[in-house]
Amino acid sequence: MTTGTEIDADLRPVLPLTAEVNAAGHLAIGGCDAVELAREFGTPLYVFDEADLRDRCREYVREFSARLPDVGVLYASKAYIGKALAQLLADEGLGLDVVSGGELAIARVAEFPLDRVYFHGNNKGREELAEAVAAGIGRVVIDNFRDIELLDEVAREAGVRQPVLLRVTPDVDPHTHSHITTGVLDSKFGFALAEGQAEEAMKRALAAPNLDVVGVHCHIGSQLFETEPYAAAIEKTLAFAADMRRHGLNLREFSPGGGIGIQYTRHEGPPPLATFAETIATAIKGACARLGLEIPRVTVEPGRSIVGRAGVALYSVGSRKDVPGVRTYVAVDGGMADNIRPAIYDAKYEALAAGRPLAALEELVTVVGKYCESGDVLVRDVRLPHLEAGEVLAIPASGAYCLSMASNYNAALKPPIVFVRDGKARLVRRRETYADLLATEVD
Ligand code: PLP
């Protein structure tokens, strides 16, 4: 924040880099007044700070490249992807991790360099694989035995020897929400190291004439604050890779996944990215030295930590309901249709009045959405000024896994998205219309 009038210092880590209080006393992002943005584009509105996005991309490239000889930073599209973001990421030199034909289609429309795109997923369809191979996708991450068979066939038909990584589950608990834990034994993703499953998969993949196994991949979970589980997963996965030399594996690439968490609330934040990069690099270098492996190319796949903090959701306040002695509900014009995270992960957020971010926090309220579920709660128990109907409420750290999980529940219209930078707002996605809702109906 750049002005003399400071927003609560505890909120800084959850607001985008350029967030400040402007001369009007309003929250401003990228030099754009949040109340004005709400007026111009309507609410709910998602605002992304371009400076923050670019800064995160550069920080990832810098911190990992400083510690490892050959690094690729791939943005995990599942956190949120659109054409403008894909173009910005391409411009910053990042790669992309996609998990569906749809995400691949967005990458293609954005003219994203497809050799920097990796295709993940635990149940890829034949058509999706064919599209990916035909498009010249950089890597397919093999997740199961069916992937090996299907992809080998698809690659043969396309006359391609497809580079692949093999995803293993190292059975490491990263201590995050069970819905976003991916690398334990009881997971739908990847091949378990236990019981020889991963070894069998490696043998089959190495024997598949149209697959080129360039390396291994593991991913333990998302929204992680602890770095130690990464070190454990890296150690196990690289030990497996070293062992697989018996079957002819020449390890050229390794991915320890994505997953450093972001700060959503005042008092709970992750360690700095440098600490995360240091843990990963040290674990990789140490394991390689012990196992007699050359340090491979390392690809990391951050999603949340690239876009999470850059995005702020703006809502208009509507009705309120006091339940004396219990709680006060303040309702806004969005909710679980644009942000389902509180409902499915019990995710926590902060909130602030965009028109008076410095005002006294007079009351404790629960911010709810407008959808027909009691679980449609955006922020439980947050201190705010007494908000009147029509005032704009900002929910920071809304850039990741909100828009990409948005639905049309209650026939809600998905919100517009603006990118802000140097005092200019660029609409990159318009609000859906009733016509959009009806476009797929067949008479
Ligand atoms: N890579 C893989 C394989 C994932 O499953 C995920 C998320 O679950 C990510 C990358 C991105 O994780 P995050 O958004 O936490 O960085």
How far is ligand 1, taken at its centre, from the CA of residue 392, in Å?
32
Please report the atom of ligand 1 found closest to the CA of residue 308. 14
190 in ligand 1 pocket by Cβ < 6 Å?
A: no
- The protein residue whose alpha carbon is closest to atom 7 in ligand 1 is 222
- Sheet order of strands, 20-21 included: 20-21, 27-29, 32-33
Res 34: pLDDT: 98
Mutate to test the pocket of ligand 1, among 299, 301, 305, 398 (most ligand atoms within 8 A of CB): 301
Mean pLDDT of the chain: 95
How far is ligand 1, taken at its centre, from the CA of residue 310, in Å?
17
Res 2: pLDDT: 45
| Cis peptide, bond prior to residue 44, ω within 30 of zero | yes
How far apart (Å, rounded) are the C-alpha atoms in residues 97 and 100? 10
257 in ligand 1 pocket by Cβ < 6 Å?
A: yes
Please report the atom of ligand 1 found closest to the CA of residue 304. 14
98 in ligand 1 pocket by Cβ < 6 Å?
A: no
| CB count in 10 Å sphere of residue 174 | 27
Res 259: pLDDT: 73
Res 205: pLDDT: 98
415 in ligand 1 pocket by Cβ < 6 Å?
A: no
396 in ligand 1 pocket by Cβ < 6 Å?
A: no
For residue range 109-140, what is the model confidence (pLDDT) as tens digits?
A: 999 999 999 999 999 999 999 999 999 999 99
How far is ligand 1, taken at its centre, from the CA of residue 306, in Å?
11
The beta-strand segments (E) located in 112-210 are 117-119, 139-142, 162-169, 191-192
302 in ligand 1 pocket by Cβ < 6 Å?
A: yes
How far is ligand 1, taken at its centre, from the CA of residue 299, in Å?
12
235 in ligand 1 pocket by Cβ < 6 Å?
A: no
Bridge partners for 117 per DSSP: 96
How far is ligand 1, taken at its centre, from the CA of residue 260, in Å?
9
Res 67: pLDDT: 98
For residue range 134-153, what is the model confidence (pLDDT) as tens digits?
A: 999 999 999 999 999 999 99
Write out the DSSP string of 86-102: HHHHHHTT-EEEE-SHH
Res 1: pLDDT: 43
Q: Is 80 left (phi over 0), alpha (psi -120 to 50) or beta?
A: left
How far is ligand 1, taken at its centre, from the CA of residue 182, in Å?
9
- The protein residue whose alpha carbon is closest to atom 9 in ligand 1 is 258
79 in ligand 1 pocket by Cβ < 6 Å?
A: yes
Closest CA to 29 of 353, 391, 424: 424
Contact indicator for 383, 364 with CB cutoff of 8 Å: yes
416 in ligand 1 pocket by Cβ < 6 Å?
A: no
How far apart (Å, rounded) are the C-alpha atoms in residues 6 and 391? 20
Mutate to test the pocket of ligand 1, among 222, 223, 401 (most ligand atoms within 8 A of CB): 222
How far is ligand 1, taken at its centre, from the CA of residue 326, in Å?
38
How far apart (Å, rounded) are the C-alpha atoms in residues 185 and 391? 48
311 in ligand 1 pocket by Cβ < 6 Å?
A: no
**Residue 57 a catalytic site member:** no
- What residues of the chain score a pLDDT lower than 70? 1-5, 174, 176, 179-183
For residue range 303-344, what is the model confidence (pLDDT) as tens digits?
A: 999 999 999 999 999 999 999 999 999 999 999 999 999 999
